[in-house]
């Protein structure tokens, strides 16, 4: 990732209005900041959330609260607790998220 045209700034995420993104089940609330060539998000998944698609976009994702299961299209899955992150390049490993109890994430892509 090459971060371009992003000046120094701070963000109080509580001031960013969330947008609702339905999953196959449950929903995701995204608080999104678009800066230069990157997108920075605070995402909250409801209990029972399952993504409605396989994502091929690269991300750096950090679990802040709850428990997240990240499934890869090759059949592998990873259970992630607070303080655990994953990093993946664009097109490297199609993935999707699910959570039984809900999760809060910080994502840069």
Where residue 28 sits, what CATH number does that domain have?
2.60.120.10
- What domain range is 103 assigned to? 17-87+96-108
Is 11 a residue whose pLDDT tops 80?
yes
Comparing CA positions, the residue from 54, 48, 11, 6 lying closest to residue 31 is 11
pLDDT band per the 50, 70, 90 thresholds, residue 2: confident
Query: Considering the domain boundaries, does residue 104 fall inside one?
Result: yes
Question: What's the chain's average pLDDT?
Answer: 96
Residues 53-101: tens digit of each pLDDT: 999 999 999 999 999 999 999 999 999 999 999 999 999 999 999 999 9
Residue at 7 is within a domain: no
Q: 25 in a domain, yes or no?
A: yes
Does a structural domain hold residue 58?
Answer: yes
Number of structural domains in the chain = 1
Task: Tell me the whole-structure pTM to 2 decimals.
Answer: 0.93
Long-range contacts, 7-13 (Cβ 8 Å, 24+): 9/35, 11/40, 13/42
Residue at 51 is within a domain: yes
Residue 57 counted as domain residue: yes
């Amino acid at each position: 990732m090459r971060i371009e045209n992003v000046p120094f700034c701070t963000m109080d995420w509580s001031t960013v209005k969330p947008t609702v993104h339905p999953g196959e089940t449950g929903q995701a609330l995204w608080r999104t900041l678009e800066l230069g060539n990157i997108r920075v998000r605070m995402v909250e998944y409801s209990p029972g959330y399952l993504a409605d698609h396989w994502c091929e976009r690269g991300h750096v994702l950090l679990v802040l609260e709850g428990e997240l299961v990240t499934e890869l299209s090759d059949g592998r899955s990873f259970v992630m607790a607070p303080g655990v992150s994953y990093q993946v390049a664009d097109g490297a490993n199609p993935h999707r998220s699910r959570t039984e109890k809900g999760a809060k994430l910080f994502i840069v892509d």
